[in-house]
Amino acid sequence: PRWGYVRVRCGGPRSHRTPLVKGRILSIEAIQAIQTLKRLHRTNPPELTSLVSNTLTRLIKSDLLATLRELLRQQHCTIALRVFSTLRSEYGADLSLYAEMAQTLAANDMTDHLDRLILDLASENEIKCGDDHKGLASLIKAVVAARSRESTVRIYGLMNKSGYGSVTEPDEYVVEVLVSGLKSFGEEALAKELQHEYKIALAKFSTPQLNTLRF
């Protein structure tokens, strides 16, 4: 993979560090963590799991996020999955972050790992799909691009379970992306079901800008 320029800010205690900008300004701690993780992945010592855990649990949230995004940028997906697991466990992960993971896994033909990622999301029983329409759409697009019918259907089921369209006002673009994805897998019945649910939601929420949806 191509190495790009990484801006580094040094010095000063953590409390005085310049705020993270989209996870791309790397602190000394994040740089050291990335180097350590790559070395551990390369040497694969017997105590790998505990060493990785010790490395990651010392990082604050912004450093974990920066470490994850830099590893994704470098296409180190296996290591990034470990970082994501820690970040999700310690702080939670929004749909946009799941989408970033899914996009990189799909681009690297790691469909099995992508499916496990969606299973992890489903284990949370519900998602805050009304808070991040853009992230949800990006996640669906990544899963469809990876040609994972199972994960696409699972996301639809999770949306229903989370009250999407009944409790949460649906987003036109999200619905269009999901309908298109379901149809691409031959799931015509589910696509029609989603269309029907959406029409019901239109009447319930009575939001004028949603009336332009075309299938």
CATH of the domain at 123: 1.25.40
On whether both 85 and 168 belong to a single domain, the answer is no
Tokens of 192: 């029609």
On whether both 124 and 87 belong to a single domain, the answer is no
* DSSP reduced 3-state for 26: strand
Q: What is the pLDDT of residues 84-117, one digit of tens each?
A: 999 999 999 999 999 999 999 999 999 999 999 9
Q: Which of 57, 92, 127 is the last residue of a domain?
A: 92
Where does the pLDDT of residue 125 fall: very low under 50, low under 70, confident under 90, or very high at 90 and above? confident
Q: How far is CA 215 from the centre of its chain?
A: 27
On whether both 76 and 5 belong to a single domain, the answer is yes
On whether both 84 and 127 belong to a single domain, the answer is no
On whether both 120 and 141 belong to a single domain, the answer is yes
Q: What is the pLDDT of residues 186-211, one digit of tens each?
A: 999 999 999 999 999 888 886 555 45
On whether both 157 and 110 belong to a single domain, the answer is yes
On whether both 29 and 14 belong to a single domain, the answer is yes
pLDDT at 212 (0 to 100): 53
On whether both 113 and 210 belong to a single domain, the answer is yes
Q: What is the pLDDT of residues 140-190, one digit of tens each?
A: 999 999 999 999 999 999 999 999 988 888 999 999 999 999 999 999 999
What total number of domains does the chain contain?
A: 2
Where does the pLDDT of residue 131 fall: very low under 50, low under 70, confident under 90, or very high at 90 and above? confident
Q: What is the pLDDT of residues 25-43, one digit of tens each?
A: 799 999 999 999 999 999 9
Question: Do 85 and 59 touch, CB atoms closer than 8 A?
Answer: no
Q: Which of 69, 92, 115 is the last residue of a domain?
A: 92
Percent of the chain with pLDDT over 90: 71
Q: What is the mean pLDDT of residues 54-63?
A: 94
On whether both 42 and 108 belong to a single domain, the answer is no
Contact partners, residue 72, CB within 8 Å, separation at least 6: 80, 100, 101, 104
On whether both 72 and 117 belong to a single domain, the answer is no
Q: Which of 74, 92, 110 is the last residue of a domain?
A: 92
On whether both 63 and 107 belong to a single domain, the answer is no
- The boundaries of the domain holding residue 45 are 1-92
pLDDT at 130 (0 to 100): 77
On whether both 102 and 127 belong to a single domain, the answer is yes
Average pLDDT value for the chain: 86
